[in-house]
Amino acid sequence: MVQELRERVVAEVGKVVVSREKETELLLVALLARGHALLEGVPGVSKTLLARAFSRCMGLDFRRVQFTPDMLPLDIVGGFVFDMKERELEFRQGPIFTNILLADEINRAPPKVQSALLEAMQERQVTVEGHTEILPSPHMVIATQNPIEFQGVYPLPEGQLDRFILKIVLGYPSLLTESAIIRRNMSEPDVESVKPVVSREDLSKSLERVRAVTVSGEMTDYIARLAVSTRADSRISLGASPRAMVHLTHCAQARAYLSDRDYITPDDVKELSIHVLSHRIKLDQALALSGETADVTAILKDTLDRVIPPR
Amino acid sequence: MAIDLLLALNAAVYLSLVAGLIARRRPPTPASEDIRSAFVLLDGALRKAFPDLPEGFTWREGMTKAKKKGLQLDWKELDKTLQSYEAYRYGGADEPKSSQSELLRLVRALRSSW
């Protein structure tokens, strides 16, 4: 039944987004783990389309904000405006007050806007001048960003990247997929054709069940050993944080739930580690100068190959 | 007459030698008391059969590698055995009582490939 949920979501998103099954599943994992997702890729690899289609098929309230360099924090969280009729200040909610917020090109906004958004993501509430408002539940931010070497972008600081439960990198499609994309886009892709396939009731039940998935003591030890291993690696200057490992555990629970299991296995952890850790780890700058491989994914894979899981 | 007898004796000696060699090449099916010790046997067999398998391999990764070798085994049954072992090992389920014969056949098949 649970596997059916995953299949329904993947099939519905697949109506408009070609060959992004794995990425759709990762978005579902992030939502069920009560986290936020960061989609990274060059322009034109269907980041926005994927996020929009996913939001629609989950049947949740959705808003999209295009981030620009001239934005202010109140454009996201909202602020006080003067009500002429009542002659008093009233709080007007910003677009963050929704279930799924698509923060398009987040790294085009200046740091103070990014930090206002990311603070709300962490606290699940917004405080403006002493006035606090709770965000709707579930609440998920799907942010898209271009790789940092692109012009006019403000890279997200490490502390802010750490708030995203996982990063999904969208690469260029294969030759066959590209051909299918061109065929499908002969006419405008209609996101409106994506129908909600999950009810709010089913989703809230799923969110509860995910947290009840068993994580054995040996599995928490394994996850902790992975964290220590990233911190001890001389090629890494900033290893995985405790928050990262908590996020990894929650994602593993979500993956186990989607596979119709009530316990996590080392495969859940290994499968998700790269997505959960790659954006939080900082490589030693000297590594690039010495000519060694400076690829986070390869180094993380190396760590996963070294640390022995409970067998 | 004596030559015929000598030839027959010779043939018998050589046949027993060949039979002995074949028997040595085919390792006996290993025995295990419980599912945990069967998986310990599999661990050793996988490491020896696939020296490139990293230290941090999982059961599924090991089994996938063995499957790609094209071994003639009941892979559905093996998958079921692994699932029940995982539920016991990581999910706190009761120890599976099902037969481990297919798992032990896999161990034997891996051993004969060394």
Q: Which residues of B touch A310 (CB under 8 A)?
A: 89-90
Q: If contacts are CB pairs under 8 Å, which of residues 59-88 in chain B contact chain A?
A: 59-61, 86-87
Neighboring chain B residues of A219 at a CB cutoff of 8 Å: 90
Residues A247-265: what's their mean pLDDT? 96
CA distance A47 to A74: 25
Shared domain for A180 and A275, answered yes or no, is no
pLDDT tens-digit series, residues A192-232: 888 999 998 999 999 999 999 999 999 999 999 999 999 99
From chain B, the residues in CB contact with A305 under 8 A are: 54-57
Task: Tell me whether residues A263 and B58 touch, CB distance under 8 A.
Answer: no
Whether residues A34 and A145 fall in one domain: yes
User: What pLDDT, on a 0 to 100 scale, did the predictor assign at position B24?
Assistant: 63
Q: How high is the pLDDT of residue A260?
A: 93
A305 touches chain B (CB under 8 A): yes
Separation in Å, CA of B50 to nearest CA in chain A: 14
Say whether both A75 and A118 belong to one domain: yes
**Which residues of chain B are within 8 Å of residue A309 when distances are taken between CB atoms?**
56, 58
Chain B CB contacts of A216 under 8 Å are 90-92
Determine, for residues A216 and B55 on separate chains, whether the beta-carbon distance falls below 8 Å.
Answer: no
Asked if residue A118 and residue A67 are part of one domain, the reply reads yes
Same domain, A146 and A275: no
Q: What is the pLDDT of residues A100-121, one digit of tens each?
A: 999 988 888 888 888 888 778 8
Let me know whether A116 and A70 are in one domain: yes
Q: Does the residue A130 lie in any domain?
A: yes
Is the ipTM of this structure higher than 0.85?
A: no
Are both A45 and A119 inside the same structural domain?
A: yes
Question: Is A163 in the same domain as A30?
Answer: yes
The reported pLDDT for the residue numbered A48 is: 86
Assigned domain for A175 exists: yes
Average pLDDT over residues B42-67: 93
Together in a domain, A178 and A223: no
Q: Please give the pLDDT value at position A150.
A: 63
Q: What total number of domains does chain A contain?
A: 2
A180 shares a domain with A54: yes
Which of A218, A264, A308 has the CB atom closest to B56's CB atom? Answer: A308
Report the C-alpha gap between B55 and B59 in whole angstroms: 12
Tell whether A163 and A224 lie within a shared domain.
Answer: no
Q: Which residues contact A274 (CB under 8 A, 6 or more apart)?
A: A297, A300, A301
Residue A185 has pLDDT above 80, yes or no: no
Residue A252 falls inside a structural domain = yes
A125-128/A166-169 β-pairing: unpaired
**Which residue in chain B is spatially nearest to A304 when comparing CA positions?**
B56
Q: Does residue A86 belong to any structural domain of this protein? A: yes
Q: Average pLDDT of A274-299?
A: 83
Least confident of A141-145, A239-243, B12-16, B70-74: B12-16
- Residues 14..43 of B with a Cβ closer than 8 Å to A: which? 39, 43
> What is the model's pLDDT at position B29?
62
Domain extent at residue A151? 2-184
- Whether residues B58 and A214 touch (CB distance < 8 A) is answered with no
Instruction: Report pLDDT for A302.
Output: 94
Q: What are phi and psi of A306, to 5 degrees?
A: -85, -40
In a domain, A198, yes or no: no
Place of tokens 């090629």: A235
A193 in a structural domain: no
Residues in chain B with CB shorter than 8 Å from the CB of A218 are 90
Query: CA-nearest residue of chain A to B93?
Result: A263
Q: Inspect the interface and report whether the beta carbons of A311 and B39 lie closer than 8 Å.
A: yes
| Domain stop point among A142, A164, A184 | A184
Q: Could you tell me if residue A121 is inside a domain?
A: yes
Report the CATH number that the domain containing residue A250 is assigned in CATH.
1.10.8.80
Q: What is the Cβ-side half-sphere exposure of residue B106, based on CA atoms within 13 angstroms?
A: 32
How high is the mean pLDDT of chain A? 88
Give the CATH number of the domain where residue A133 resides: 3.40.50.300
Asked if the C-beta of A261 comes within 8 angstroms of chain B's C-beta atoms, the answer is: yes
- Residue-wise pLDDT tens digits, A126-150: 888 888 899 998 999 999 988 766 6
Question: Is there a domain that residue A195 lies in?
Answer: no
Same domain, A22 and A143: yes
Residues B2-42 have pLDDT tens digits of 788 888 888 888 888 877 776 666 555 666 678 888 999 99
Task: Read off the pLDDT band of A20 (50, 70, 90).
Answer: confident
